Amino acid sequence: MRNLSMLIDFYELTMANSYFEHNKNEEAVFDLFFRSVPDEGGYAVMAGLEQAIQYIQELSFTQKDIDYLRGRNLFSEGFLNYLKDFKFTSSVYAIKEGTPIFPNEPVLTVQGPIIECQLIETMLLLTINHQSLIATKTARIVAAAKGRAVLEFGSRRAQGYDAATFGARAAYIAGAVGSSNTITDRDFQIPAIGTMAHAYVQSFDSEYDAFLAYAKTYPKDSVFLVDTYSTLGSGVPNAIKVYQDYLKPNGYTLKGIRIDSGDLTYLSKKSRELLDAAGLTNTKITVSNSLDEYLIRELVEQGAQIDAFGVGERLITSKSDSVFGGVYKLSALKENGQWVPKMKLSDNVVKTTNPGVKKLFRLFDKTTNNAIADVVTLDHETIDDTKPFLLFDPNFPWKQKQVKNFRVESLLEPIFIQGKLVYKKPLLKDIRAFHQAQMATLWDEVKRFENPHPYYVDLSQDLWKLKQQLIEQYSKKA
């Protein structure tokens, strides 16, 4: 168990102390959402919920924490005693991990005393932001691979220990088949994958000797790194020779080769020719070396003879767009037993939030099972899928579409109810399978890398009217 109670933005503590001192701990609702998809893509992938749950379950303030805060001479003894006896009592609702998610819809909401809601902001954001970022990047890479295996190879380039471990978890959810990071196999049962580095080959008198030694150690799992000296000049020929001299006579085969440099299309094609000529038609070719979805797409389009892609730093850091951008905003406050909607009105239009206690629904076409749109509603609303439903663009409300023959699903699942965990955490392999099924519901046009068709996140009529009323009301106060 790790004490992460102090992994918190300091202003959350100063606000909480002030709330406490003014006896202001009424019930509030906060929404966690994001404003844009990384890499200008058409979708993102929800991940990190299990770690957010674990954080909430373990959240407590130790005597060391209290002593530190007391030493800052900013916090009242009453507030410090509150933290010392802290117990989470709020309710949390969230979208399941692996689900495609879209901008400006609540992917997680917290309802409870405002101090509790405020104190967990940082950890919720960093957990959901990080894993959703890596899952989103991996989903794009897996799509580019067109059914070929994607291996997460980035732990040595990850931005910290947790980024390596939880990044691999997020990558597995989104379709990677394994990771080079061994701890993820121990903790999450993600297959650990790896064979040799160039140093291993260089440590022997010859490349042939290195391959032979490895084959004798791992005859059932002989995968050789063939580009230490010359992929086609010596690497692949030596791999074949070890197969002919040792593996085949002893009843084994050459499981695979890996190429880590050079023109991967050309080298894979020529390697395939050499392997096939030696009767090694089932030997797999894996490639690595600064891969991402764009390079993988080109390799596939060029007919590269590649069975698996080892993807490192550009996956585990989401190098091309390394910030997910999730935010956590107050949307309602209970006053005199009634919910009072709250919203942020900003000069920057994209930062204007959606007010009120809300629900989130996804509409699916009954004929194709494709997702049509998501609809954010107020808490009292439901969507009747036996009747036509009018969709409209919240920014351009005259753009409308009436949908029929659809089914509707509620996306926000109860996770905690008044502090009690009510969500049965699924196995990671089941989250992965769920993700694959959910991705199949998206139109191909939404999954394009460039200029994807926008997926619609609409507001209900009631929520849209409430938002317009508050905009007008707040504008008059400005």
pLDDT of residue 3: 85
In angstroms, rounded to a whole number, what is the distance separating the alpha carbons of residues 450 and 225? 34
In angstroms, rounded to a whole number, what is the distance separating the alpha carbons of residues 247 and 231? 20
Based on the fold, state whether residues 328 and 274 are members of the same structural domain: no
Binning pLDDT at 50, 70 and 90, where does residue 476 land? confident
Total count of domains within the chain? 2
Based on the fold, state whether residues 467 and 327 are members of the same structural domain: yes
What is the CATH classification number for the domain harbouring 280?
Answer: 3.20.20.70
Per-residue DSSP letter, 103? T
pLDDT digits (tens, 9 = 90+) for 106-123: 999 999 999 999 999 999
Residue 2: how many other CB atoms lie within 10 Å: 9
Based on the fold, state whether residues 385 and 457 are members of the same structural domain: yes
Residue 462: how many other CB atoms lie within 10 Å: 13
Based on the fold, state whether residues 460 and 335 are members of the same structural domain: yes
What domain range is 115 assigned to? 10-134+322-477
Q: What is the pTM of this model?
A: 0.96
pLDDT of residue 341: 97
Based on the fold, state whether residues 284 and 326 are members of the same structural domain: no
Based on the fold, state whether residues 208 and 331 are members of the same structural domain: no
pLDDT digits (tens, 9 = 90+) for 291-304: 999 999 999 999 99
Based on the fold, state whether residues 472 and 362 are members of the same structural domain: yes
Based on the fold, state whether residues 279 and 351 are members of the same structural domain: no
Confirm whether 296 is domain-assigned: no
pLDDT of residue 351: 82
Confirm whether 141 is domain-assigned: no
Backbone angles phi, psi at 164, to 5 degrees: -65, -45
What is the CATH classification number for the domain harbouring 125?
Answer: 3.20.140.10
Confirm whether 17 is domain-assigned: yes
Based on the fold, state whether residues 328 and 283 are members of the same structural domain: no
Query: Which value, in Å, is the radius of gyration of the alpha carbons in the chain?
Result: 26
Which amino acid, one-letter code, is at 142? V
pLDDT digits (tens, 9 = 90+) for 332-348: 999 999 999 999 987 77
Confirm whether 213 is domain-assigned: yes
Residue 377: how many other CB atoms lie within 10 Å: 20
Based on the fold, state whether residues 363 and 465 are members of the same structural domain: yes
Based on the fold, state whether residues 355 and 278 are members of the same structural domain: no
Confirm whether 159 is domain-assigned: no
pLDDT digits (tens, 9 = 90+) for 118-163: 999 999 999 999 999 999 999 999 999 999 999 999 999 999 999 9
* Mean pLDDT of all residues in 359-384: 97
The whole-chain average pLDDT of the chain stands at 96
Confirm whether 140 is domain-assigned: no
* Mean pLDDT of all residues in 71-85: 98
Based on the fold, state whether residues 333 and 284 are members of the same structural domain: no
Confirm whether 52 is domain-assigned: yes
Binning pLDDT at 50, 70 and 90, where does residue 478 land? low
pLDDT digits (tens, 9 = 90+) for 243-281: 999 999 999 999 999 999 999 999 999 999 999 999 999
In the chain, % of residues over pLDDT 90: 95
Confirm whether 151 is domain-assigned: no
